[in-house]
Chain A
Amino acid sequence: MHETDMTKALILTVRNWWEAQPERPQISQVHLTVGQFTCVEPVSLQFAFEVQTRNTFLETAKLVIQETPLIAFCHHCQQEYRPEIGVQYACPDCRSPMEDIRSGRELKINRIEYCSDSAESYASNL
Chain B
Amino acid sequence: MHQTFDAALEINLLHANQEGADHNRAHFDAWGITCLNIMSSPGAGKTVLLEKTLAALNQTLKIAVIEGDMTTELDADRLRQYRVPVIAINTGRSCHLDSKMVAGGLHQLAHQYTPSDFNLVLVENVGNLVCPAEFEIGEHAKVALLSITEGEDKPLKYPVMFQAADCLLITKIDLAPHLEIDVNRIIANVRQMNPGVTIIPVSAKTGEGLTVWFDWLQSQIPSAEKIASKLPDLTSA
Q: Residues of A with Cβ closer than 8 Å to B? A: 1-2, 5-6, 9-10, 12-14, 17, 25, 28, 32, 37-40, 83, 85-90, 97-99, 107-117, 119, 122, 125
Contacts A12-B16, A90-B192, A114-B6 supplied; 4 other A-B pairs, CB < 8 Å: A37-B160, A88-B192, A97-B194, A119-B1
Q: Is the CB of A122 within 8 A of B1?
A: yes
Assess the A38–B134 pair: CB atoms within 8 A.
yes
19 contacts between A and B (CB under 8 A): A5-B98, A32-B13, A37-B160, A40-B134, A86-B159, A89-B159, A97-B194, A98-B163, A98-B192, A108-B11, A108-B13, A109-B10, A110-B10, A112-B6, A112-B7, A113-B5, A115-B2, A116-B3, A117-B3
- Give me the 5 closest cross-chain CB pairs, A-B, nearest first: A2-B131, A97-B195, A107-B13, A89-B193, A1-B95
Which residues of B, 96-138, contact A by the 8 Å Cβ criterion?
Answer: 96, 98, 130-131, 133-135
Q: Is the interface of B mostly helix, strand, loop or mixed?
A: mixed
Tell me whether B17 is interfacial, beta carbon within 8 Å: yes
Which residue among B11, B95, B130, B163 has the maximum number of chain A CB atoms within 10 Å of its CB? B11
- Cβ proximity bits B1-34 to A, threshold 8 Å, 1 near / 0 not: 1111111111111111100000000000000000
The closest CB in chain A to the CB of B135 belongs to A2
Interface pair B2/A117, CB less than 8 Å apart: yes
- B residues adjacent to A (C-beta < 8 A): 1-17, 93-96, 98, 130-131, 133-135, 156-157, 159-160, 163, 191-195
Q: Please measure, in the bound complex, the distance between the C-alpha atom of A37 and the C-alpha atom of B96, giving whole angstroms.
A: 18
If over half of A's interface residues share one DSSP class (helix, strand or loop), that class is named, otherwise mixed; here it is mixed
Q: Which residues of A contact B7 (CB under 8 A)?
A: 17, 111-112, 114
Docked-complex contact A39 and B131, CB < 8 angstroms = yes
Q: Which of A1, A37, A107 contacts B14 (CB 8 A)?
A: A107
Given B1, B9, B134, B156, which contacts A117 in the complex, CB threshold below 8 Å? B1
